[in-house]
Amino acid sequence: MSMAKAIFTRDFNYTSRIRNAGWAVKAGPQPQSFPRELIEAAVRAGRAREVPPARARRGRGPRRRPTAPTETTPPQPSGPRARPRP
Give pLDDT tens digits for 37-52.
999 999 999 999 999 8
**pLDDT of amino acid 8:** 97
Beta bridge mates, 32: 6
Q: What are the residue ranges spanned by the domains of the chain?
A: 3-51
CA distance 42 to 13: 9
For 27-64, give one letter per residue: b (16+ CB within 10 A) or e: eeeeebebbebbbebbeeeebbeeeeeeeeeeeeeeee
Higher pLDDT, 83 or 50: 50
- For 13, phi then psi, to 5°, come to -110, 135
- Please check whether residue 48 is in contact with residue 12, taking contact to mean a CB–CB distance below 8 angstroms: yes
pLDDT tens, 5-40? 999 999 999 999 989 999 999 999 999 999 999 999
Average pLDDT of the residues of the chain: 83
